[in-house]
Amino acid sequence: MQKSHPVIAREGLPFIFLGLVLAVSATWLLGKGWSLPFWLLAIFILQFFRDPPRHCPDDPHLVIVPADGRVVAVEKTRDAYLDRTAIKVSIFMNVFNVHSNRSPVEGKVIKRWYFSGSFLNASLDKASEQNERNALWIKTPEGKDIICVQIAGLIARRILCYVDVGSVLARAERYGFIRFGSRVDVYLPEESRVDVAIGDHVKGGQDVLARLHD
């Protein structure tokens, strides 16, 4: 069962408060007309940190999309984390997407890696290797190995991850957040059947990314 969380991400509360204070202050000091840009900024901040509840299928063979955004890569590649051939699916999040990160599968966190790095445009493929990133190795109850990587982007400068080695995650459980545009890579066993294609717009915690074979 997924753990509950508010529909507005807690990571955004200080930013939302500041945006509202600026908007109210501008209205009081400058008047309604001149305060409009400040209210638009406050609305933008509020929508960025929205975190609506999602409902995912119960099938244990399904891999769920870990983040909202657009699929920018589906390819067979070398998984450097586990030194294996794998299928990599990459999802790019722009500033208008929900930025909560959710576990693609049910399982236990076996290892966590953090790498400091650059802040290239997260839609570029080389961002997977050069940007700041946080990776989780999740092993499912059936013994399947999934790697899920949070990657900072051109504007995103803060990766937040709330789990560590030994944590047990439910499928689609919220485990992290990346601020202001970013990317998530998922490395799947090479025999997996991918259910998304490049260019697809997907919703984290709800849509199916792939199916794991028995």
37 and 141 part of one domain = no
As for how many domains the chain has, the answer is 2
Mean pLDDT, the chain, integer: 86
The answer to whether residue 3 is domain-embedded is no
Give the Cα separation of 214 and 200 in Å (integer): 26
Residues 67-123: tens digit of each pLDDT? 999 999 999 999 999 999 999 999 998 888 888 899 999 999 999 999 876 555 545
Q: Which of 35, 90, 128, 182 is catalytic?
A: 182
The answer to whether residue 77 is domain-embedded is yes
113 and 37 part of one domain = no
Structure tokens at 70: 């657009």
126 and 157 part of one domain = yes
* DSSP summary character for residue 132: -
**Predicted structure pTM score:** 0.82
116 and 168 part of one domain = yes
Predicted confidence at residue 128, as pLDDT, reads 59
74 and 35 part of one domain = no
Give the Cα separation of 114 and 136 in Å (integer): 9
30 and 95 part of one domain = no
Going along the chain, which residue ranges are E strands?
A: 62-64, 69-79, 84-93, 100-102, 107-115, 133-139, 145-152, 159-161, 168-169, 174-178, 182-189, 193-194, 201-202, 208-211
Question: Could you say which residues of the chain have pLDDT below 50?
Answer: 1-3, 122
Scan for tokens 């399947």, then name that residue. 144
Domain span at residue 201 reads 62-211
26 and 111 part of one domain = no
Predicted confidence at residue 197, as pLDDT, reads 96
Predicted confidence at residue 179, as pLDDT, reads 73
40 and 74 part of one domain = no
Q: Which residues contact 8 (CB under 8 A, 6 or more apart)?
A: 16, 46, 49, 50, 51
The answer to whether residue 27 is domain-embedded is yes
32 and 81 part of one domain = no
The answer to whether residue 55 is domain-embedded is no
74 and 28 part of one domain = no
Active site residue 4: no
Predicted confidence at residue 2, as pLDDT, reads 45
128 and 36 part of one domain = no
Sheet containing 193-194: which strands, arranged edge to edge? 62-64, 208-211, 193-194
